[in-house]
Amino acid sequence: MDLKSNEPFWLVKNGLLASYPSLKEDAECDVLVVGGGITGSLIAHQCIRDGYKTILIDKREISNGSSSATTSMLQYEIDVPLYKLIDKIGEKGAIASYEACYQSIDELGRLVKQVKSKAGFRKKDSLYFAALKKDVKELKQEFEARKKAGFDVKWMEADEILKKYDLQKAYGGILSTQGASVDAFRLVHEILAYNQKKGLRVYDRTGLAGVKYGRRLNEVMLDTGRIIRCRKIVYCVGYESALMIKEKFVDLISTYAIVSEVDPAASRKYKDVLIWNTADPYIYMRATDDDRMLIGGEDEEFRNPQKRDALIGKKEQKLLASFSKYLPHSSFRADFAWAGTFGETKDGLPYIGEHKDFKNSYFVLGFGGNGITFSVTGMEMTSNWLKGKKHLLTPYFAFER
């Protein structure tokens, strides 16, 4: 499955950061991580930290799937508002899911310092604004639900938003103090480089062709003709899991994004805030760490890569119009435009856990707008699974929920 268009901004900006070999010999390990994006790198980091002999493989080049196309807005807010999630799964699971995403941002910040990252991790506020007047009532309901749950939130009226952010057509909003952004493509390579020094083995252009499950060891057949024998497998394959698992559990969605030319004057005001709205599909905006502006959205059902990419020009114009609508006093001359794929689940939550058709295996599938923060939560959940321990979020993130 082609998960991105040809020229996502971070892939072009960073170029070739590292090279990895394909696996040309049989190998053994405790844990095999399948998938070399941000999720796979985080899980491999956890496995090495826990003392497991770990191998990571990817059928592409490392970080060249969705991780090169992500806009990397790190938010604790899940695509399903808290008050609606409470109705779906109950107060305990809903608040725990939001709290996990909240804590994940700080956990990722600590990891960034540990690996001495230069991926531009930056803490930011998050402004969630009403795109239409009729949305204000439900947005205030969301504000009250978060405030009651103990999250640090502030209600902003339209005039306050206009004064602070020059943001037009915002009819009120929730300002949260917990958010961040990062260059996920660069961070993947930094995490892997850090862990290679500690024994992690990384191979790209090495695809999984099949698995024979045994009582003590699994035999993983590769498309290179080699075999990896391992005790456990952790699948961090993102949206390609839809091709592996029989039942339908996620809807694939195409999203579009554009990045402006370098313009410090335009981006300065938005360095420390993530902006998104209540529209369906919603628009999201932020400044990049190199003084550009980014706007994304215009989501629609994923059909195939060719049809998705054929719409990039049309979607670019619509995103430019949205930027002009909301920030008419800021300039935006597009420098990059691309499309990517993400997934929507029935409750906005990830699928992290075991699946009955894959023995001795664990899935960490972020999905939605919180893919990276869900993956950070997946580190702890994977660690617990490998140690035979239970996790509070397991029933809420399970396939059979």
List the one residue out of 381, 391, 372 whose CA is nearest residue 105.
372
Per-residue b/e over 297-334, b at no fewer than 16 CB within 10 Å? bbbeebeebeebbebbeebbeebbebbeebbeebebeb
pLDDT at 1 over 70: no
Q: In whole angstroms, give the CA distance from residue 245 to residue 238.
A: 12
Query: Residue 248 has what pLDDT?
Result: 92
Q: In whole angstroms, give the CA distance from residue 127 to residue 102.
A: 15
pTM of this prediction? 0.93
| Amino acid at site 357 | D
* DSSP track, 115-184: TT--S--EE-EEEEE-SSGGGHHHHHHHHHHHHHHT--EEEE-HHHHHHHH---S---EEEES-EEE--H
Per-domain residue ranges for the chain? 9-69+185-248+348-397, 78-101+121-180, 251-344
Over residues 352-372, the pLDDT tens digits come to 999 999 999 999 999 877 899
Over residues 267-276, the pLDDT tens digits come to 889 999 999 9
What angle in degrees, to the nearest 10, is found between the helix axes of 91-114 and 136-149? 70
CATH number for the region 251-344 comes to 3.30.9.10
Distance of CA 303 to the CA centre of its chain: 21
Over residues 317-344, the pLDDT tens digits come to 999 999 999 999 998 999 999 988 888 8
Query: Residue 9 has what pLDDT?
Result: 67
* DSSP track, 287-327: E-TTS-EEEEEEEEE---HHHHHHTHHHHHHHHHHHHHHH-
Over residues 59-107, the pLDDT tens digits come to 999 988 777 778 889 999 999 999 999 999 999 999 999 999 999 999 9
Phi and psi (nearest 5°) for 14?
Answer: -85, -30
Write a three-state SS string for 367-399.
CHHHHHHHHHHHHHHHHHHHCCCCCCCHHHHCC
Give the best-scoring range by mean pLDDT among 247-251, 280-284, 386-390. Answer: 386-390
| Amino acid at site 283 | I
Query: Residue 265 has what pLDDT?
Result: 85
Distance of CA 253 to the CA centre of its chain: 14
Over residues 113-172, the pLDDT tens digits come to 999 999 999 999 999 999 999 999 999 999 999 999 999 999 999 999 999 999 999 999
For range 379-385, the mean pLDDT: 98
Is residue 4 very low, low, confident or very high in pLDDT (cuts 50, 70, 90)?
very low
Tell which wins on pLDDT, 146 or 242.
Answer: 146
Q: In whole angstroms, give the CA distance from residue 309 to residue 338.
A: 8
Share of the chain above pLDDT 70, in %: 96
Is residue 3 very low, low, confident or very high in pLDDT (cuts 50, 70, 90)?
very low
Residue 88 buriedness (CB in 10 A; 0-12 / 13-18 / 19+): middle
pLDDT at 257 over 90: yes
* Structure tokens, 395: 């029933």
Give the best-scoring range by mean pLDDT among 64-68, 178-182, 298-302. Answer: 178-182
Mean pLDDT, all residues of the chain: 93
Residue 262 buriedness (CB in 10 A; 0-12 / 13-18 / 19+): middle
Q: In whole angstroms, give the CA distance from residue 255 to residue 82.
A: 23
pLDDT at 311 over 70: yes
Query: Residue 328 has what pLDDT?
Result: 95
Tell which wins on pLDDT, 367 or 178.
Answer: 178
Give the best-scoring range by mean pLDDT among 2-6, 92-96, 281-285. Answer: 92-96
Give the best-scoring range by mean pLDDT among 169-178, 248-257, 266-275. Answer: 169-178
Query: Residue 175 has what pLDDT?
Result: 98
Is residue 11 very low, low, confident or very high in pLDDT (cuts 50, 70, 90)?
low
**Dihedral angle, C-alpha 99, 284, 338, 37, nearest 10 °:** -10
In 166-304, alpha helices (H): 184-196, 241-244, 264-267
| Contact assessment for residue 354 and residue 376, using Cβ atoms and an 8 Å cutoff | no
pLDDT at 285 over 80: yes
Query: Residue 5 has what pLDDT?
Result: 46
pLDDT at 241 over 70: yes
Query: Residue 23 has what pLDDT?
Result: 97
HSE-up (13 A, CA, CB side) for residue 389: 9
Topology classification of domain 9-69+185-248+348-397: FAD/NAD(P)-binding domain (3.50.50)
